[in-house]
Structure 1
Amino acid sequence: MTGSIAILGYGLATLGPGIGIGILIGKTQEATARQPEVASKLFTNMILGVAFVEVLGLIGFVLALIK
């Protein structure tokens, strides 16, 4: 078997952000359906949350490349 175990680690590191973004967007859609008048505030908060969650994936990618 050739390759680096870091690549496997990166693959596992993408699971958390992927699940997190899915939950975040799903809950935002539920809240928008219940209260459409606050959709713009929810969208702003969702974008910030997605950015923070995505940073976790990027950190996993960088750590896999550093090795």
Structure 2
Amino acid sequence: MQSKVDVAVMIGSGVPQTLRAQGLRACWVVLLNGEQRGTAFASRDEAQECRAAWQALLDLEQSDRLH
């Protein structure tokens, strides 16, 4: 099965209280097969870096299964 890693934006009440306390009204999360993995990020760039790390890990696991 091919896993899918995405970045999604959360707005308003979906933003964790810790980020709302900092004045943020939106945050970004990493989704693995539609389920949130890890924490919410204050910037899209941070979430994209985390997404890339998840994707690299999944690619490595897939490669290991093929060999």
With normalisation by structure 1, the TM-score equals: 0.48
Looking at both structures, which has the greater relative contact order when contacts are Cα pairs under 8 Å and sequence separation is at least 6? 1
Higher helix share: 1
Higher strand share: 2
Kindly name which structure, 1 or 2, has the bigger radius of gyration based on alpha carbons: 1
